[in-house]
A and B are shown apart, each in its own frame.
Chain A
Amino acid sequence: MDPVDVVVVGSGFGGAAFCWRLANKAPKLRIVCLERGGWVDRKAMPSYRRDWQAASFGAWATPPNTRLKSGEKTQTADYPIDDTNSAFKPLMWNGVGGSTMTWAAHFPRLHPSDFKTKSLDGVGDDWPFDYFDLEPYYDENDAITGVAGLSGDPAYPPKPERRMPPIALGRLGAAAARGFDKLGWHWWPVDAAVNSAPFDGRAACNHCGPCLMGCPTGAKASVDVTYWPKAIKSGVELRPHSIVQQVDIEGGRATGVRYRDQAGNEVVQPASLVVVAGNGIGTARLLLASGLDSPALGRNLMFHPAAYLRANFDEEMDGPVGPVGCMLYSHEFYETDPARNFKRGVHIQVTRENSLLSMATRLGPPAWGEGAQQFLRKEFRHSMAVLVLAEDLPEAHNRVTLTDKVEADGLPGVKLDYTLSEHSRRSLDFGLDRGEEFLRAAGAASVLRIPLAPSTGWHLLGTARMGSDPAISVTDKEGRCHKVRNLMVADGSLFPTVGAVNPGSTIGALGLKLADGVARDAA
């Protein structure tokens, strides 16, 4: 292959934002993005089928391990992940657009305090820059993505007027607002990366429900319909079905990558700059397999520890309609309070109902028989779920490592070791208590606590963290590896800490910021 200026590995949020920005800031650079999976076929998405509910247990399951085990033909290029020693099970989409294809599109920013946990609260680490350094990139990322929301939230510094009004709150939102109002707690409609009105050539959401199985209308802002068409128009070459096997490193410099194309041929792609954006597991796996020498690589794996509550109401709610994760949230307890037995805080999010089949499969015990069916009778169209997210703090023993096995994709196998800390447990218990208090105030007739939600491992963060000390960080604040300066990371692996909110917005903003750094160097 002819040499290129920049090769990017991975087409998810970080890679997409990086490519688009760099192509526009440094148009003379030749940029290639290698993506292990393909473009999704929207016409084949389950929401058009009568058996759509079952798809979430097979080819459209959110865990790659479930998709692989289903034996069904999938639209992803998955690899198995040994998660037997991890409290949370990893979720991801391995195809063009990365995990934005099946994300909930809840689009919060980190708080300013999230960037300074060490100096403010004595835990975690400070980021090498602060919220206000990233703020213009958050704004730019919002503008490209399209955000439905409402400005004026007192939990955040002022943000630009949201491009679209919030997604309708429905009956569920009215009941939730009533509960928060009764307690005098903060609540606000979420920033949603979902069109509440037509935007950027994409339709408005018609509230069909199963966002996590892909959005067939494009109302949900996955980066295959936001950044990628613009990046390709700006000259970026995206090569799907290209599984990178190794970053070639010689004499402290990256010389390019080797990848397996769709036909199974090995291709060498020389490049002046290699950028890896394969999420906190995929990036660590590739860099470990490439022999990058960094003691912090793969360590400090963070999710967002999650628990939830399910409540039944006598009144009728909306049922399984609308974007499931995009309704409203409370940050009443997001910031540190010295009176609590933990530092930092919790995110409390009210979510919409899942499909009837999903609700039936999580009943119990018992999950069958008359009692289960009658419980579902009371729950369906009458329930409210509250998700509690805690801030995961970096711990070196929580990590991604390679196994001795070579997987079918040609790369070494990958294993997670992750233990829920006592600190996280205290945070979740506090959040569950507050969540139950809220649900009772909202009028719940019954509340069920789920102390831990293992199948929530969307947020794969921290395994190639930024910092100034090569002993405890992998890259500098520009995302460049300490020991291989023309090798960068551009995804959530970079996060030194993770706050207690979804990371997509920050990953996109970070991708834009890192691209500006490269463009400056190239000028």
Chain B
Amino acid sequence: MSFLAAVLDTLLPGDRAALPLPPGSGIGIEASDLPAEALAAIASEAGSEAAFEAASPATRTDILRRVEAKSPSVFQALLTAALMRYYQSDAVMTAMGWRTDPPQPKGRPLAATDAATWERLKKVKSRGRIWR
């Protein structure tokens, strides 16, 4: 596993649900998509890129937590960049049970107000004036 994949998979490990969420390394994120300063901070905290790669998942998580605590804005920039790529990917949208096409021009289906809800509203109306 490369250093980049190790970072991404610690941030976004994915899961093994029926429609599995891919790991962060599984959707084509490149190092150039992420802030270099953040990656360098992680390598520095681990001792080296190789040390981070070789660490256990629990140790990698600890390292990221330390970087997050020491350099919150740097870490946040990394996280935001990773989340933007990850949660806009077709594979992740599909795994989350959602559509991959943009909102327009087709729009989205929305269930009509059901009969029980209209019945409940009658009771509200029957209360009479509550404004002053």
Which B84-117 residues have C-beta < 8 A from chain A? Answer: 84, 86-88, 92-93, 96-98, 100-114, 116-117
Contact A356 B110 (CB under 8 A): no
Contact A357 B130 (CB under 8 A): no
Q: How large is the interface on B (under 10, 10 to 19, 20 to 34, 35 or more residues)?
A: 35 or more
- B110's partner among A178, A180, A318 (CB-CB below 8 A) is A318
A112-B84 contact in complex given A52-B103, A369-B11, A377-B15, C-beta closer than 8 Å: no
- B113's partner among A53, A157, A173, A356 (CB-CB below 8 A) is A173
| Chain A interface, number of residues (Cβ within 8 angstroms) | 68
Contact B104 A47 (CB under 8 A): yes
Nearest-CB distance from A118 to chain B (Å)?
A: 15
Contact A169 B15 (CB under 8 A): no
Q: B28 contacts the other chain (Cβ, under 8 Å)?
A: no
Q: B46 contacts the other chain (Cβ, under 8 Å)?
A: no
CA gap between A380 and B87 in the complex, in Å: 12
CA gap between A112 and B61 in the complex, in Å: 56
Which candidate, A8-16, A86-94, A205-213, is the interface stretch facing chain B? A205-213
Contact A319 B98 (CB under 8 A): yes
In chain B, what residue has the closest Cβ to A46?
B102
Q: B10 contacts the other chain (Cβ, under 8 Å)?
A: yes
Contact B108 A374 (CB under 8 A): no
- A154's partner among B97, B110, B128 (CB-CB below 8 A) is B128
Which candidate, A29-37, A360-368, A395-403, A472-480, is the interface stretch facing chain B? A360-368
A187-B124 contact in complex given A112-B131, A335-B131, A357-B84, C-beta closer than 8 Å: yes
In chain B, what residue has the closest Cβ to A361?
B83
Contact B108 A206 (CB under 8 A): yes
- Per-residue interface assignment for chain B, residues 1 to 24, with 1 indicating a CB less than 8 Å from any chain A CB and 0 otherwise: 000000000111111010001000
Q: A426 contacts the other chain (Cβ, under 8 Å)?
A: no
In chain A, what residue has the closest Cβ to B97?
A381
Contact A166 B113 (CB under 8 A): yes
Contact A54 B88 (CB under 8 A): yes
In chain A, what residue has the closest Cβ to B101?
A50
Q: Provide the residues of chain A in CB contact with B93, threshold 8 Å.
A: 356
Q: Provide the residues of chain A in CB contact with B127, threshold 8 Å.
A: 154, 186
A169-B87 contact in complex given A188-B124, A373-B12, C-beta closer than 8 Å: no
CA gap between A52 and B131 in the complex, in Å: 41
Nearest-CB distance from B39 to chain A (Å)?
A: 15
Q: Provide the residues of chain A in CB contact with B123, threshold 8 Å.
A: 181
- B111's partner among A50, A168, A320 (CB-CB below 8 A) is A168
Nearest-CB distance from B121 to chain A (Å)?
A: 7
Q: B79 contacts the other chain (Cβ, under 8 Å)?
A: yes
In chain B, what residue has the closest Cβ to A216?
B104
Contact B125 A174 (CB under 8 A): no
Q: Provide the residues of chain A in CB contact with B113, threshold 8 Å.
A: 166, 168-170, 173-174, 189
Contact A208 B132 (CB under 8 A): no
Q: Provide the residues of chain A in CB contact with B61, threshold 8 Å.
A: 369
- Per-residue interface assignment for chain B, residues 58 to 88, with 1 indicating a CB less than 8 Å from any chain A CB and 0 otherwise: 0001001100000000000001100110111
Q: Provide the residues of chain A in CB contact with B87, threshold 8 Å.
A: 53, 356-357, 360
Contact A207 B109 (CB under 8 A): yes
Q: A295 contacts the other chain (Cβ, under 8 Å)?
A: no
Q: Provide the residues of chain A in CB contact with B104, threshold 8 Å.
A: 45, 47-48, 206, 208, 216-217
Nearest-CB distance from A426 to chain B (Å)?
A: 21
Q: Provide the residues of chain B in CB contact with A173, threshold 8 Å.
A: 113, 117
- Per-residue interface assignment for chain A, residues 351 to 392, with 1 indicating a CB less than 8 Å from any chain B CB and 0 otherwise: 000001100110000111110011011001100000000000
A207-B108 contact in complex given A361-B83, A368-B64, C-beta closer than 8 Å: yes
Contact A154 B129 (CB under 8 A): yes
CA gap between A45 and B105 in the complex, in Å: 11
A156-B83 contact in complex given A374-B15, A377-B17, A381-B98, C-beta closer than 8 Å: no
Q: Provide the residues of chain A in CB contact with B120, threshold 8 Å.
A: 177-178, 180-181
CA gap between A436 and B128 in the complex, in Å: 26
Contact A120 B132 (CB under 8 A): yes
- B108's partner among A51, A188, A321, A377 (CB-CB below 8 A) is A321
In chain B, what residue has the closest Cβ to A356?
B87
Q: Provide the residues of chain A in CB contact with B107, threshold 8 Å.
A: 205-208
Q: Provide the residues of chain A in CB contact with B97, threshold 8 Å.
A: 380-381
Nearest-CB distance from A53 to chain B (Å)?
A: 5
Contact B130 A335 (CB under 8 A): yes
Which A454-503 residues have C-beta < 8 A from chain B? Answer: none
Contact A188 B121 (CB under 8 A): yes
- B131's partner among A156, A180, A322 (CB-CB below 8 A) is A156
27 residue pairs from A and B, CB less than 8 Å apart: A47-B102, A47-B104, A49-B102, A52-B102, A150-B121, A156-B131, A168-B110, A170-B111, A171-B111, A177-B117, A188-B121, A207-B108, A207-B109, A207-B110, A209-B103, A318-B111, A319-B98, A321-B110, A335-B131, A356-B96, A357-B83, A357-B88, A366-B65, A368-B11, A368-B79, A369-B10, A377-B17
| Sample of 5 further A-B pairs with CB below 8 A, known A177-B116, A186-B127 | A113-B132, A152-B125, A174-B111, A331-B131, A381-B96
The interface of chain B, by Cβ under 8 A from chain A, is 10-15, 17, 21, 61, 64-65, 79-80, 83-84, 86-88, 92-93, 96-98, 100-114, 116-117, 120-121, 123-125, 127-132
7 A-B pairs with the lowest CB-CB distances in the bound complex, closest first: A206-B107, A208-B103, A321-B108, A207-B110, A47-B104, A169-B113, A181-B120
